[in-house]
Amino acid sequence: MATPAEIANDMAAHADYWQKRDRKTFETCNDAARVIRMFLGGQNVDGRTYYGLHRRLLDLTSRYSAGRVAGAPNFDRALRILHQLRAEATK
């Protein structure tokens, strides 16, 4: 399994890919990389930021769940790692 830092890097790479293709996907990937790095850095992530990103990642995973897009599994991985990091941060 990939480490959270690797997943953040994957999401940053996806953001670069999606930048000129789909603005919402670009922003979600960019924010996912940023929020994962915030959790890893020990910074406080407020609920509005976390749950807004969570909703947008759920939208992406449902939109691309058929696997027609090469990055679809990474959206799900980012969602799972955010759940894990949030659980660890709120202990």
**Residue-wise pLDDT tens digits, 8-50:** 999 999 999 999 999 999 999 999 999 999 999 999 999 999 9
69 within 8 A of 60, measured Cβ to Cβ: no
User: For the segment 46-91, what is each residue's pLDDT rounded down to a tens digit?
Assistant: 999 999 999 999 998 887 765 566 677 899 999 999 999 999 999 8
Alpha helix segments (H runs only) across the chain: 4-18, 23-40, 47-63, 72-89
Closest listed residue to residue 26, CA positions, set 11, 9, 4? 11
How many other C-beta atoms lie within 10 A of the C-beta of residue 48? Answer: 8
User: pTM for this one?
Assistant: 0.91
How many other C-beta atoms lie within 10 A of the C-beta of residue 77? Answer: 19
pLDDT at 6 over 90: yes
Alpha-carbon distance of 25 to 14, in angstroms, equals 9
